[in-house]
Amino acid sequence: MTTTTSDCSAEELLRGQRVALVGKLAGMPKREAQQLVRQQGGIILERPDASATLLVVGEEELPLGDGPAEGAFDEAVRGAVDRGTLEIIGETQLWQRLGLVDREPYIHPLYTPAMLAQLLGVGVSAIRRWQRRGWIVPVREVRRLPYFDFQEVATARRLTELLASGMSPATIAKKLAELERYLPDIKRPLAQLSIIVEGKHLLLRQGDGLVEPSGQLRFDFGAAADGRSRATQETVAMASDILTFAGRAPHDWTATPAEMVQLAGQLEDEGQLQAAAEMYRSAMAAGGPRAEIWLLLAELLYQMQDLPAARERYYMAVELDEDYVEARANLGCVLSELGEQELAISAFEGALAFHDDYPDVHYHLARTLDEADRAAEAVSHWEAFLRLAPSSPWADEARLRLGR
């Protein structure tokens, strides 16, 4: 297998290289990836053959093993690998060589919580709870705004499959803990293992077979069929106490503020939105106001369709932390929905003043400017959005607005 020096630039690396992209890419559409390769001097092959010098395996279905699946390539290709004339790398390595993961100002291989939620068809609050649990991990944060790469997108897709199979978030947490106990070297099973969802069962792919993490019987998820674990039932009871004894002083509550925030997330998972809101309020009553908790409460109130209340909580988050760009962005969205277009535009512009490469804000600001009959001003923001997030779920709308 050929190798390259780490100080070689992307252009030097790909000039004259005959590159084949195999499988579905997770980071961007295949056509855009081919264009990037050509821009760096590479020659695209529609199918891998013996003349290929670089073969990139897509990572839509994570994780990749040490090499391509048995039978994926013909003898000529395997012979080229054996001779050392063909290098096989994963999609991640290609993006790193092209500088798309770590280099500014490229944000488009990364997803904000809102973009990831739109892509998966779930609520932004769910993305945030998965992040708090450590199920998905941002590769970077800009003024509190997390960005997730395509590996985390794949992990999030696993989570949506698990939830769609009927598992509750508490059950997922329990089963992942069991996996970590059986496999102590694996800290993030969803990201590191090839986990297959079959009904309400988690199976590990091993060779051509599917086995339990213990190597024995399959996990039994029947105990969670009612969708509510004992821990969740206890949480609901604790929240009921908060509602019943709302007048009690904070020191009468035994949980810490951090535990209250965690309990609020569990209640939210169960659809107990009012109880979750009370839990967030109790956390701040006990530990003092915090911008991130105001944001969580604002998002919850938005889910409850109480837009005026959500607006005020977003304002509070910004007052506590003026460069909390996600709070400014969400405030702008709520103001826009409330018909306060000029205030929404100001909120979006405020967010961009702190983080000019925030793709979501360019998108929402462009839409708001269009709705305010300021289409000429919107153009630069549609263009900025496409530059920053060309593979976003909203990119087609941006191209349509620009007449492309």
Final residue in a domain of this structure, among 224, 255, 282: 224
Instruction: Kindly report which listed range (84-93, 122-131, 346-355) carries the lowest average pLDDT score.
Output: 84-93
pLDDT(369) > 60: yes
**Is 257 part of any domain?**
no
pLDDT(219) > 50: no
Report the CATH number that the domain containing residue 204 is assigned in CATH. Answer: 1.10.1660
Of 240, 218, 220, 236, residue with least CA distance to 228: 236
pLDDT(82) > 90: no
- Residues 65 and 89 reside in one and the same domain: yes
- Residues 86 and 119 reside in one and the same domain: no
- 159-206 pLDDT, tens digit each: 888 888 778 888 888 777 776 666 666 667 676 655 655 555 555 554
Q: Residue 213: which pLDDT band, with cuts at 50, 70 and 90?
A: very low
- Residues 218 and 119 reside in one and the same domain: yes
- Residues 67 and 148 reside in one and the same domain: no
- Residues 93 and 126 reside in one and the same domain: no
Pairing of strands 209-211, 201-206: antiparallel
Does the global pTM surpass 0.75?
no
**Is 94 part of any domain?**
yes
For the chain, what percent of residues have pLDDT higher than 90?
Answer: 26
Final residue in a domain of this structure, among 98, 129, 146: 98
Report the CATH number that the domain containing residue 68 is assigned in CATH. Answer: 3.40.50.10190
pLDDT(301) > 50: yes
pLDDT(289) > 50: yes
pLDDT value of position 189:
67
Final residue in a domain of this structure, among 224, 242, 266: 224
Section 47-61 average pLDDT: 78
SS3 205: strand
Q: What total number of domains does the chain contain? A: 3
Between 367 and 279, residue with greater pLDDT: 367
**Token pair 């096989």: residue:** 88
- Residues 122 and 218 reside in one and the same domain: yes
Report the CATH number that the domain containing residue 334 is assigned in CATH. Answer: 1.25.40.10
Domain containing 404 equals 321-404
pLDDT value of position 5:
35
Sheet holding 43-45, edge to edge: 43-45, 18-22, 54-57, 87-90
- Residues 26 and 129 reside in one and the same domain: no
- Residues 120 and 207 reside in one and the same domain: yes
